[in-house]
Amino acid sequence: MIYYYTALVLTYAIEGTPVTTKVWYDRERHCSEAMSGKLMDGLYDQLYELYGGDMMLTCEVSDVPSFILKPKLRPKEQKNG
């Protein structure tokens, strides 16, 4: 199994100028947990109050592997005798 670096991307606008902020995670699952959990709620609510509803929060998976899980080899059977 291969895991890829994944960015939590917050995009919003200040006076019509687009702003993009990225927080990087080593696995897509961690990004999804941050996005769907309560972690971003306070920041999202504050930005919504200050700059309006033109915001987007997404997880973008990169093509750069962060971790490769290799299966372990089975030990060789030893013959007795």
Q: Which residue has the higher pLDDT, 33 or 72?
A: 33
| DSSP labels, 25-75 | ESSHHHHHHHHHSSTTHHHHHHHHHHH-S--EEEEEEEEEEEEE-PPPPPP
Q: Which tokens in the block code for residue 21?
A: 């902020």
Predicted model pTM? 0.77
- Number of domains observed in the structure of the chain: 1
Does residue 81 have a pLDDT over 70?
A: no
Q: Which tokens in the block code for residue 75?
A: 């030990």
Would residue 77 count as lying in a domain? no
pLDDT, tens digit, 9 for 90 and up, residues 19-63: 999 999 999 999 999 988 888 888 888 988 998 888 999 999 999
Would residue 81 count as lying in a domain? no
CB 35 within 8 A of CB 59: yes
- Three-state DSSP state, 15: coil
Task: Show the domain range for 12.
Answer: 2-68
Q: How far apart are CA 23 and CA 33, in angstroms?
A: 13
Would residue 44 count as lying in a domain? yes
pLDDT band at 65 (very low <50, low <70, confident <90, very high): very high
